[in-house]
C-alpha cells in the first residue's frame, strides 16, 4: 500500500523526503511532482525498475526512460556531450526539457534504447525532485506519469492513490504541478530535433 506524503512545495520537509528516498533505496517506485508534470521515479541501479516503470505506462523497451540529474557534471557521467550540445544544455537547464543523448557505459543496457543506445536526460527545476536525487545519492530513473492507454499525465495525488496504491511505494503531494510533460529534444543524430513539444518552448532555445 502506497504512503501519501504531504510536502510543502517551496520548503519541503527534510524528514518526509528522507523517508521517501529510503523507499527508493529499498526498491520502491515513487510518484513525484516536477516542474513539468508528475513523474514516477526509481533507482537507476534497481534491476527491475525499468520493467516496472514501463509496465505502469504500457511502454515497450524502445520508449526512452529519463535520468533525472542534479547538474551538468552529473550528466557527463551518463551521456556523451560535445561542446555544441553542452552549450544547449547549459542554456536550457534546469527546466522542463528532456534531451536524448548517447548513453555512456555507466547506463545499464536494460535502461538505454536497445538499438540506438541512447537515454533521456534532464535536470528538473523543482526542489522536491532535486532533494530526492540528493538524498538517494544517485540520478533517478523516471517516466512521465501517464497511465497506459491515456494521453495526459495524472496530476491528482488522490487519484494516483486510488489507482496505483498497490504498485507505488509512495506518492508525494505538494499541490498540483503544471501537468504538461517536458519538451523532448533529440541530440543523438547531430542537429537538434524536437521529438515532443511540451512545457518548454523551443523558441526560447533558438530552435
Residue 207 in any domain: the answer is no
Asked whether residue 193 carries a pLDDT value surpassing 80, the answer given is yes
If residue 100 lies in a helix (H) or strand (E), which one and from where to where?
strand 97-103
Residue 191 in any domain: the answer is yes
Q: pLDDT value at position 108?
A: 84
Model confidence over 136-169: pLDDT tens digits? 999 999 999 999 999 999 999 999 999 999 999 9
pTM: 0.94
Residue 28 in any domain: the answer is yes
* Residue 182 structural domain: 3-199
Distance CA 191, CA 204 (A): 17
Model confidence over 107-119: pLDDT tens digits? 988 888 888 899 9
Residue 163 in any domain: the answer is yes
Question: Contact, 100 vs 186, CB < 8 A?
Answer: yes
Nearest residue to 73 via CA among 89, 88, 91:
89
CATH of the domain at 96: 3.90.870.10
The per-residue DSSP string of 18-87 comes to HHHHHHHHTT--EEE--SSS-EEEEETT-TTHHHHHHHHHT--TTSPPEEE-SSHHHHHHHEE--HHHHH
Residue 205 in any domain: the answer is no
Residue 142 in any domain: the answer is yes
Residue 204 in any domain: the answer is no
Residue 206 in any domain: the answer is no
Share of the chain above pLDDT 70, in %: 100
Model confidence over 36-93: pLDDT tens digits? 999 999 999 888 988 999 999 998 888 889 999 999 999 999 999 999 999 999 999 9
Q: How far is CA 197 from the centre of its chain?
A: 16
The total of structural domains in the chain comes to: 1
Amino acid at each position: 500500500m502506497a504512503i501519501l506524503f504531504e510536502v510543502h512545495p517551496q520548503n519541503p520537509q527534510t524528514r518526509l523526503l528522507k523517508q521517501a528516498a529510503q523507499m527508493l533505496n529499498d526498491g520502491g517506485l515513487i510518484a513525484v511532482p516536477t516542474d513539468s508534470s508528475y513523474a514516477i521515479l526509481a533507482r537507476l541501479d534497481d534491476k527491475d525498475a525499468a520493467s516496472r516503470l514501463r509496465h505502469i505506462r504500457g511502454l515497450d523497451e524502445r520508449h526512452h526512460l529519463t535520468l533525472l540529474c542534479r547538474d551538468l557534471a552529473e550528466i557527463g557521467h551518463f551521456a556523451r556531450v560535445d561542446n555544441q550540445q553542452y552549450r544547449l544544455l547549459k542554456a536550457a537547464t534546469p527546466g522542463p526539457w528532456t534531451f536524448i543523448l548517447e548513453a555512456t557505459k555507466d547506463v545499464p543496457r536494460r535502461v538505454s534504447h536497445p538499438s540506438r543506445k541512447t537515454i533521456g536526460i534532464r535536470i528538473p527545476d523543482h526542489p522536491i525532485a532535486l532533494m530526492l536525487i540528493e538524498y538517494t545519492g544517485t540520478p533517478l530513473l523516471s517516466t512521465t506519469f501517464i497511465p497506459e492507454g491515456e494521453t495526459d499525465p495524472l496530476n491528482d495525488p488522490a487519484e494516483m492513490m486510488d489507482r496505483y496504491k498497490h504498485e507505488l511505494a509512495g506518492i508525494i503531494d505538494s499541490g498540483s504541478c503544471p501537468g504538461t510533460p517536458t519538451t523532448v529534444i533529440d541530440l543523438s543524430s547531430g542537429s537538434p530535433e524536437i521529438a515532443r513539444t511540451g512545457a518548454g518552448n523551443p523558441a526560447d532555445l533558438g530552435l
